[in-house]
Each structure stands twice: as structure tokens, then as C-alpha cells.
Amino acid sequence: MKPDEVLMQAAELVTGPRAASHGDYHECHQTIAALWSVVFGITVTAKQVAICMALLKVARMLTGTHNSDDHVDGAAYLAMSESL
């Protein structure tokens, strides 16, 4: 997949049907951060959640078989982290 295709698909994830089904990403990442904060006993921010989710996608790229979705999802998480 070409870089512009990855980025266009990532933009669609952040603003399209998946965004509608998952809810507002600010609220979602804040909720995840609150839950992780309790589990880990430290303060976790929404921005850190998005970055960690992108790193999860990188780990999958390094250990699994090729899956373009990992690149798209990783780009989407990094894009979202900019506004969290």
C-alpha cells in the first residue's frame, strides 16, 4: 500500500463509520487512560494511551505477518495523539 493510501485510510478511521461506532476518540482515550491509571497505579494520559496503541501496532508489525491494517491503525493512533 502506498503512503498516501495508508494516510487516507487512517483519516477515514478517525472520522468515518468506525469513529461513529467507537465514539468520540477524546472521550474514549480519556476513559482508557483513567482505567489504565487504576490498573498501573500511576497517572496515564489520553495522549499516552494513543501512543501506546500505536506502539502495539508496531509490535504486531515486528512479530506477526504483514497486515496493512497495522500501518493504517498506527497512523490513525499517532494522528489522534496530536490533539489529545
Q: Which three cell numbers stand for residue 76?
A: 490513525
* pTM to 2 decimal places: 0.91
According to DSSP H, which parts of 1-84 are helical?
Answer: 3-15, 17-22, 25-40, 46-63, 68-81
Q: What is the pLDDT along the chain (84 residues), one digit of tens a residue?
A: 999 999 999 999 888 888 788 889 999 999 999 999 999 999 999 999 999 999 999 999 999 899 999 999 999 999 999 999
Show the cell assigned to 28: 474514549
Helix 3-15 × helix 68-81 angle, to 10°? 60
Q: Is residue 67 within 8 Å of 58, Cβ to Cβ?
A: no
